[in-house]
Copies of this chain bind each other. A is one copy, B any other.
Amino acid sequence: MSFTGKVGRPKASSRETLAEAACELFLERGYDATSVADITQRAGVSRSSFFNYFASKSDVLWSGVDERIAQAIRSLNDLHKAATGDAVREVLLLIVRDFEPDPLALALRNAGAMGLDDELVRDTGLRLARLAAAVSRAASAAGVDVIRADILGAAHAAAVLSSLRVWAEHGAGLGTPDAVLRDALATIHHLPWA
């Protein structure tokens, strides 16, 4: 029987080591000019190992946010019919709570230096679409017409992503990200939903 709970070879290098190496290089040379091989070389691991930790190169920047979004989507799917707009908004607020030291924040702040502008539009779009689809499903389940549900979904998703971006760009001068988001959601509070 096992008692320690730990079996097998221990990890030799952490996700964080790789993420740090990656962020350094992105800042030094830019995102495109940095290959996965470069990252693993600086981190002192083999290229193969990179994909044990991250699903893709861009995952270095987005994995934190993606986890939160995935959790939110699960919560949204579990929402019962007749879910209110408020219930949805509560779920969304959890995405940005305690966001602080995330690689994505760094990327959003230094998008120019990293040569990330195009990349960020692309990647933000993907998350926007995912989140929008989930909110839209919730709205549909609550009886909202399909297209209206899509619009509702996009508006809510945009509030989330936009809050993160604006907050990251302005440093902590705006307060916490969830305060920013709360403010943003107030704008669409009166949309036909509910």
Tell which of A14-22, A65-73, A105-113, A125-133 binds the partner: A125-133
Known: A166-B146, A188-B151. A126 touches B132 (CB 8 A): no
- Taking the full assembly, how many copies of this chain does it contain? 2
Whether the pair B122, A129 counts as a contact (CB closer than 8 A) is yes
Interface residue tally for chain A (C-beta within 8 Å): 34
Give Cα A153–Cα B124 distance, bound, in whole angstroms. 14
Whether the pair A158, B154 counts as a contact (CB closer than 8 A) is yes
| 10 cross-chain pairs, A with B, having the tightest CB-CB distances, nearest first | A154-B158, A125-B129, A125-B125, A150-B162, A155-B155, A125-B126, A154-B154, A147-B184, A151-B158, A121-B129
Which residues of A line the B interface, CB within 8 A? 121-122, 124-130, 132-133, 146-148, 150-151, 153-155, 157-159, 161-163, 165-166, 180, 183-184, 187-188, 191-192
